[in-house]
Amino acid sequence: MLLDKVNVTFKAGDGGNGKVSFKKIGRGPDGGSGGKGGDLYVVTSSDLTLLNQFSRQDLVVAEHGVDGGNNNRHGKKGNDIEVVLPVGTSIINSETGKEVIELTEIDQRVKLLKGGNGGWGNFEFRSARNTTPMKAQSGFPGETLNATLNLKLIADYGLIGLPNSGKSSLLNELTDAKAKIGNYAFTTLSPNLGVFKNKIIADIPGLIEGAVDGKGLGINFLKHIEKVKVLIHCIDATSDNYKRDYKIVRDELTKYNLEMLKKKEIILLTKSDLVSGKRKFMNSIGVSIYDFESIKNLIKLLS
């Protein structure tokens, strides 16, 4: 199951505390300052399952700075931490609902949160007036972000269509994906991905009339293909009404986001082996997973 929305708290390291200490009682101060807390970075990867790491862990903290010591020893800086997130992740501040950053490219590396500075040791507070300062600072807290991570897949192609129209079967044909296939509606419960010639194809659960209002599995999955360049619209060639099937899915897309209509669309009449003669709907292309030639044609078209 691909997690596409998780809540997690990110925290940079706290600074270490400053130290109060003296070389000898009554002599000069030698309390060192605390080390700075580690920063928290986010880096991106093409592994789209990475949000799953937060199903059991909802707090990620960089290392804290070490407290200052005597003899003017400064505390060690806390190590930075790198959180690897799937490309397409939008990081949202859960408290304000505002987007902090959207990670759109692979191998991006961004400093998200700054570690706190270390507190000064009493050595830093010495002055002509006060040669024996008794105070030191506490370390400063690292920045914290209560985040919602929302994965919008940066897929190039999106397979859409009514349930059972053969979307996952095609994904498996075109890529190394091993999506579950079933002769019933809603076999696919969460998006499947495959890589086709360095491009990502997303196979999403079937849409039905009213999906926008939560019917079937709803339209939540459409966000995964919001950014695709090409929609591959699968219509079952054995259906008795291509126009209706097509319209149901297009209507749901329209209600979701008008931008979806502007995308290039390839219409496939799937399972063409099950119908006799050439069927046609608009500028559709017939395809069957049992007809190698048709798959080859499709590959050419998508390449």
CA dist 122 and 232 (Å) reads 68
Q: Using DSSP bridges, classify how beta strands 157-161 and 230-236 pair: parallel, antiparallel or unpaired.
A: parallel
Q: Angle 235-237-242 (CA atoms, 0-180°, nearest 5)?
A: 60
Q: Closest separation between CB of residue 103 and ligand GTP, Å?
A: 28
Question: In whole angstroms, how close is the CB of 175 to Mg ion at the nearest point?
Answer: 14
Query: By CB under 5 A, is residue 169 in contact with Mg ion?
Result: no
Nearer to ligand GTP, 101 or 274 (CB): 274
Residue 72 interacts with which of ligand GTP, Mg ion, none, CB < 5 to 8 Å by class: none
188 in contact with Mg ion (CB under 5 A): yes
Cα–Cα nearest to 113, from 93, 97, 95, 98: 93
The nearer residue to Mg ion, 59 or 186, going by C-beta atoms, is 186
Which CB, 112 or 202, lies closer to ligand GTP?
Answer: 202
Q: What beta strand segments (E) does 46-181 contain?
A: 59-61, 81-86, 89-93, 99-102, 109-113, 144-151, 157-161
Q: Distance (Å, rounded) from C-alpha 194 to C-alpha 174?
A: 8
Residue placing its CB nearer to ligand GTP in the complex, 100 or 208: 208
CA distance 26 to 131: 9
Which residues 6+ apart lie within 8 Å of 296 measured at CB? none
CA distances to 112, 128, 164, 170, 269 from 260, rounded to whole Å, are 31, 71, 22, 21, 20
| Nearest-approach distance from CB 165 to Mg ion, in angstroms | 8
Q: How far is the CB of 203 from Mg ion (least distance, A)?
A: 6
Instruction: Tell me which residues touch ligand GTP (CB under 6 A).
Output: 161, 163-169, 181-183, 185-188, 205-206, 270-271, 273-274, 288-290
User: Given candidates 79, 146, 187, 220, which one binds Mg ion under the rule CB under 5 A?
Assistant: 187
- Kindly tell me which of 110 and 208 has the beta carbon lying closer to ligand GTP: 208
Least distance in angstroms from the C-beta of 249 to ligand GTP:
11
Look at strands 230-236 and 199-203 and give their pairing: unpaired
**Shortest gap between Cβ of 47 and ligand GTP (angstroms)?**
23
Indicate which single residue of 122, 168, 172, 175 sits in contact with Mg ion (rule: CB under 5 A): 168
Contact positions toward Mg ion, by CB under 5 A? Answer: 167-168, 187-188
